[in-house]
Copies of this chain bind each other. A is one copy, B any other.
C-alpha cells in the first residue's frame, strides 16, 4: 500500500510537503495541495495513523474500562462517550474488568503500553485503592471516573447523587400518601447502594416516619431468600404501603410478588425503582424510577477528558461533577393528581 514516500516520488515533491498537505494544510500552495491529493487518490493512499502516533507521541485512542459492557448503565454511558469522542477524532478501546481488581490492573497496564491518550473508568466492586492507577499519572495520561468513583479529592469524576435520588423517590412516596415505606437494599459493600439506603432513611426521618427493623430488606445473593423476606414483610404489620427498590430489576421482582399476592399497585402499595431502565415505560403499570442519567454521565465524562487532553494553558482544576438524578414518575407510584412528569 502506498505511503508518503510513494507520493513524494510520484509528485516530485518532498516527504515534508506531502506530510504538510495532510496536516498543516495551510502552509502549502493550493496548487501543490491539488497535485498531492490527486496523486493520493490515484495511488489510493491512506495515512498510517500508527506511524503518526508513534512519531508525534500522541495517539487518538481512549481506553474505557467498565465492569461489564452489557448492563444498561454502562452501555448507555459508553454510547454517548463514543459519540462525543469520535466527533473529536478519538476512538475508544473497550475493556471489561469483570469486577476484578486484578483484571483492572492488567487492563490499565495494557492501555499504557498501547499509549492511549486518556482513560475513562467505572471501577470494579472490588476496587478500593488507586494504586493500580498511579502509573497513569506517571505517564501523564488523564483519567476520568464515572458512575462509581473513589472518595479522593484529586480525581476527575462524573457521578450521580445516589443519596439525593433515593431521597427524592422516598419523598415522592410520602407525598403520595405512603406512611409505611420499605426499602429493598443493594449489596452493603457497594458505596452507591449504601448512599441510596442513607437517602431513604434520611427522608423517612425528615418526615418523622418510623423505621423499624425489617423495613430495610438486606441484599441476599439468593433471589429466593429475598423473595421470602419480602413476602414475610408484606404480610406483617404494619402493612407496607410503599416500596423503594435499589434497582429496577429488584422492583420488577417486587412487582411480581405483589402481583402474585393480588396486592394492587399503586393503590395498596406504591413502588419506585432505580435506574430508569428501558422497560420501565412498557410495563403495566409503568414503573416509576430514578433516572441515573446514563447518557448525560457518559457525555460529561467524555467532555471532561477532552478538556484534560487540551494543551493545558493554566493549571486545571479537578472537576468532581455530581449530577442530581431525575425521578421519572409513572403509574406504579401515582395515587394523586400530579403536576410534575416527563
Q: Which residues in A have some Cβ–Cβ distance to B below 8 Å? A: 1, 44, 46-51, 53-54, 59, 61, 68-72, 74-76, 78-79, 82-83, 86, 91-96, 109-110, 112-115, 138-139, 249, 252-253, 255-256, 259-260, 277-279, 282-284
Complex CA distance for A78 and B44, rounded to whole angstroms: 32
Complex CA distance for A4 and B278, rounded to whole angstroms: 51
Given contacts A50-B54, A78-B70, A256-B283, contact A96 B83 (CB under 8 A): yes
Distance to closest chain B CB from A253 (angstroms):
6
Residues B256 and A1 in contact, CB atoms below 8 Å apart: no
Residues A50 and B59 in contact, CB atoms below 8 Å apart: yes
Complex CA distance for A59 and B95, rounded to whole angstroms: 17
Residues of B contacting A96 with CB < 8 Å? 79, 82-83, 86
A89 nearest CB neighbor, chain B only: B110
Given contacts A82-B96, A278-B249, A284-B255, contact A113 B49 (CB under 8 A): yes
Residues B61 and A69 in contact, CB atoms below 8 Å apart: no
Residues B279 and A112 in contact, CB atoms below 8 Å apart: no
Residues A47 and B113 in contact, CB atoms below 8 Å apart: yes
Complex CA distance for A260 and B283, rounded to whole angstroms: 11
Chain A, interface SS category: helix
Residues A109 and B50 in contact, CB atoms below 8 Å apart: no
Given contacts A50-B50, A54-B51, contact A68 B59 (CB under 8 A): no
Residues B94 and A48 in contact, CB atoms below 8 Å apart: no
26 cross-chain CB contacts under 8 A: A44-B138, A46-B109, A47-B113, A49-B113, A49-B115, A50-B53, A50-B114, A51-B54, A69-B82, A70-B76, A70-B78, A70-B79, A75-B75, A79-B96, A82-B94, A86-B95, A91-B94, A91-B114, A92-B94, A93-B93, A93-B94, A252-B282, A253-B282, A255-B284, A256-B284, A259-B284
Residues of B contacting A79 with CB < 8 Å? 68-70, 96
A79 nearest CB neighbor, chain B only: B70
Distance to closest chain B CB from A65 (angstroms):
11
Residues of B contacting A252 with CB < 8 Å? 279, 282-283
A92 nearest CB neighbor, chain B only: B94
Residues of B contacting A51 with CB < 8 Å? 54
Residues of B contacting A82 with CB < 8 Å? 69, 94-96
Complex CA distance for A47 and B69, rounded to whole angstroms: 28
Complex CA distance for A94 and B75, rounded to whole angstroms: 11
A106 nearest CB neighbor, chain B only: B86
